[in-house]
Amino acid sequence: MKLVSFMWAGRERLGALVGEERVLDLQAAHIAQWEKELGQSLNRSQRLLAEAEMPADMRRFIELGPRTWQRAEALIRSAGVGGGTDRSNCSSNYSSSDSSGAPVWFSRSQIRLAAPIADPGKVICVGLNYLDHAIETNMQVPKTPVIFAKYASALIGPEDVIVHPGAGVTARVDYEAELVVVIGRRGKNIPASEAMAYVFGYTVMNDVSARDLQMESGQWLKGKTLDTFAPLGPAIVTADEVPDPHQLDIRCTVNGEVLQNSNTRNLICKIPDLIAYISRLATLEPGDIIATGTPAGVGMGRRPPVWLQPGDVVTVEVQNIGALTNRVTG
């Protein structure tokens, strides 16, 4: 599945992205299917049960576990989703809306994508996890993972803007393309050999960084977690659709120029080892996210340095996961 969070009528909704242009509202589809089976509208208690079974927010969806995920997969199948492009064919097994009037299908032009998970309990980041990036920044290659965090308040979606706070706060705003692991199960002291069973899926992050703040005292957090400095999305691709997350091309372009271009095979510390290491420090919970590090080509490593400025357009892309584009504003 390719899952998205989106805004409609002022509310956040959970959807399945079908192709590039169609989104199935999973909660509305669940209600519509139940109403079709009953041949009537749901009463209040039935609707509350249906909403609990198929929530409208990503974190709760992940927390509910495999039974709910399988229900979502069944909804997508029963919607008649195939390889066609005719939206009417895809909605033929459902009413166009549930009895409350909530649409089952949306076109991309009707909605605004949000960060796929807006409220993770933890936003865990890994530094210096590509050898070439450690070299370009003149930092020692770490013997153990370098772990830092961002606050959830830094998260924005694929249609939001990165706000440059201005030279009074930082003059050195940088980009970082990263593959993100989304945790699906609670775990502590997870063996590396079992770690991939705790992965729900993958998404993309731009780990925007204020390098002057990051480096001025050795405390990376304050340079990493400014508001809007964690674009995330556009979707979460479930783990079953990514056979090997260590064989994915990753790149970043700024104003159309490719500045980072690598592959996740170059990760120093692989995903199972990251999960094992982090879970020794803190219990991992469903919906937690781990940004796995960035390859060479960041702005601070270039000569002369390349710093993001208002008006720049930044696209971070990971193969088979998606492309995340954000404009920088002042």
Q: What is the pLDDT of residues 288-312, one digit of tens each?
A: 999 999 999 999 999 999 999 999 9
Cα torsion through 169, 173, 178, 180, rounded to 10: 20
User: What residues contact residue 76 under an 8 Å CB cut-off, 6+ apart?
Assistant: 1, 16, 18, 24
How confident is the model at residue 94, as a pLDDT?
Answer: 61
Clarify whether residues 215 and 140 are in a common domain: yes
Domain boundary among 80, 113, 146: 113
Report the CATH number at residue 316. Answer: 3.90.850.10
Clarify whether residues 163 and 260 are in a common domain: yes
In the block, tokens 């700024």 appear at 254
Structural domain contains residue 118: no
Higher pLDDT, 138 or 55: 55
Clarify whether residues 57 and 182 are in a common domain: no
Domain boundary among 86, 113, 140: 113
Interatomic CA distance for residues 131 and 266, integer angstroms: 7
Q: What is the mean pLDDT of residues 86-114?
A: 72
Q: What is the pLDDT of residues 249-279, one digit of tens each?
A: 999 999 999 999 999 999 999 999 999 999 9
Structural domain contains residue 77: yes
Report the CATH number at residue 44. Answer: 2.30.30
Clarify whether residues 109 and 128 are in a common domain: no
At residue 190, the 3 state secondary structure works out as coil
How confident is the model at residue 83, as a pLDDT?
Answer: 34
> Residue 322's Cα: distance from chain center in Å?
9
Count Cα neighbours of 88 within 13 Å in the Cβ-side half-sphere.
0
Clarify whether residues 227 and 303 are in a common domain: yes
In the block, tokens 């809306």 appear at 97
Clarify whether residues 104 and 132 are in a common domain: no
Beta strands in 138-268 (DSSP E): 146-150, 155-156, 162-163, 173-174, 177-183, 199-206, 209-210, 230-238, 249-254, 257-263
Q: What is the pLDDT of residues 18-73, one digit of tens each?
A: 888 899 999 999 999 999 889 999 999 999 999 999 999 999 999 999 999 999 99
Structural domain contains residue 62: yes
How confident is the model at residue 97, as a pLDDT?
Answer: 67
Give me the chain's average pLDDT, please: 92
Give the DSSP letter string of 92-132: TTS-SB-TT--BSEEEGGG-EEE-SSS--S-EEEEES-BHH
| Residues of the domain holding 277 | 123-329
Clarify whether residues 146 and 86 are in a common domain: no
Percentage of the chain surpassing pLDDT 70? 94
Clarify whether residues 160 and 219 are in a common domain: yes
Clarify whether residues 93 and 203 are in a common domain: no
The total number of structural domains in the chain stands at 2
Are 243 and 113 in contact by the 8 Å Cβ rule? The answer is no
In the block, tokens 């960084």 appear at 209
Structural domain contains residue 25: yes
Cα angle 328, 287, 73; round to 5: 100
Give the DSSP letter string of 7-76: EETTEEEEEEEETTTEEEEHHHHHHHHHHHHHTS---HHHHHHHHHHS-SSHHHHHHH-HHHHHHHHHHH
pLDDT at 2 over 90: yes
Domain boundary among 63, 78, 113: 113
Clarify whether residues 150 and 76 are in a common domain: no
Are 72 and 17 in contact by the 8 Å Cβ rule? The answer is no
Cα torsion through 238, 158, 116, 147, rounded to 10: 80
Interatomic CA distance for residues 329 and 325, integer angstroms: 13
